[in-house]
């Protein structure tokens, strides 16, 4: 398992929200400088969340992907999500330098988009964002009737790279990961599983590693200095190997 730092972008600025709620949390500053710094610290995978794109329904901050790729080269694995709801927007994100695309809202309305994007050679993570036991969509502003189990039952039929499961209930709060949710996700597939939400310390990382999660997205606790940044979490065993 490896640790993957996230850069959440709102109006050109890196921010950390609490539970995804706009206006909460704090600003971190220039997302490009943060991305380069993370690379220099040892990160080999960075997760970029386009908050504006998630709200608008199409990517807005692809400039960051493009410029970060230009700054650090092809050895950095870039995940990108937020507003990817068409094959065209997926291709645009890939052409700008994203290696793995995270698709959420779109698959709840048209699951076949996952396979359509995968068929053109792009690696796709289906984003399953869970709030009070139900899958949330549209920047987490609304929920569906789908449970985590329902989502996996539907999505396992499609050819995709894997899943990103987020526990919205604790996201951005640093109160501890939803390990039962992560364990359930791991039990439902043999594909790549990434987890996000509530991670507070290295103990959480070790627990998630023992569950068999492939990668853990970290944000609030990481930027507040609550994670020890053990080198093993930067360079641990992982299946996240993508060749451009």
Catalytic residues: 8, 129
Q: Give the span between the Cα atoms of 189 and 212, in whole angstroms.
A: 11
Phi and psi of 44, rounded to 5°?
A: -115, -5
* DSSP H stretches of helix in the chain: 31-41, 51-56, 62-72, 87-95, 105-109, 112-119, 148-155, 179-187, 202-211, 220-223, 231-235
Cβ atoms 179, 208 nearer than 8 A: yes
Nearest to 148 by CA among 111, 177, 188: 188
Question: Which H or E run contains 58?
Answer: none
Q: Give the span between the Cα atoms of 67 and 46, in whole angstroms.
A: 13
């Amino acid at each position: 398992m490896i640790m993957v730092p996230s850069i959440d972008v709102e109006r050109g600025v890196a921010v950390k929200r609490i539970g995804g709620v706009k206006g909460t949390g704090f600003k971190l500053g220039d997302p490009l400088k943060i991305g380069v710094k993370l690379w220099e610290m040892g990160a080999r995978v960075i997760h970029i969340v386009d908050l504006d794109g998630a709200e608008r329904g199409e990517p807005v901050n692809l400039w960051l992907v493009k410029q970060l790729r230009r700054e650090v080269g092809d050895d950095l694995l870039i995940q990108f999500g937020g507003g990817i709801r068409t094959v065209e927007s997926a291709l645009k994100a890939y052409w700008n330098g994203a290696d793995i695309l995270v698709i959420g809202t779109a698959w709840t309305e048209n699951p076949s988009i996952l396979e359509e994007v995968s068929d053109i050679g792009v690696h796709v993570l289906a984003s399953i964002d869970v709030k009070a036991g139900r899958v949330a969509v549209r920047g987490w502003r609304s929920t569906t009737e789908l449970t985590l189990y329902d989502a996996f039952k539907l999505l396992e039929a499609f050819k995709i790279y894997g899943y990103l499961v987020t526990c919205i209930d604790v996201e951005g709060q640093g109160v501890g990961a939803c390990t039962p949710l992560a364990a359930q996700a791991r039990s439902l597939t043999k594909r790549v599983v990434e987890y996000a939400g509530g991670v507070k310390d290295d103990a959480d990382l070790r627990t998630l590693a023992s569950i068999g999660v492939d990668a853990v997205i970290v944000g609030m606790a990481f930027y507040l200095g609550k994670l020890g940044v053990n080198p093993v979490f930067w360079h641990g065993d992982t299946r996240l190997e993508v060749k451009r």
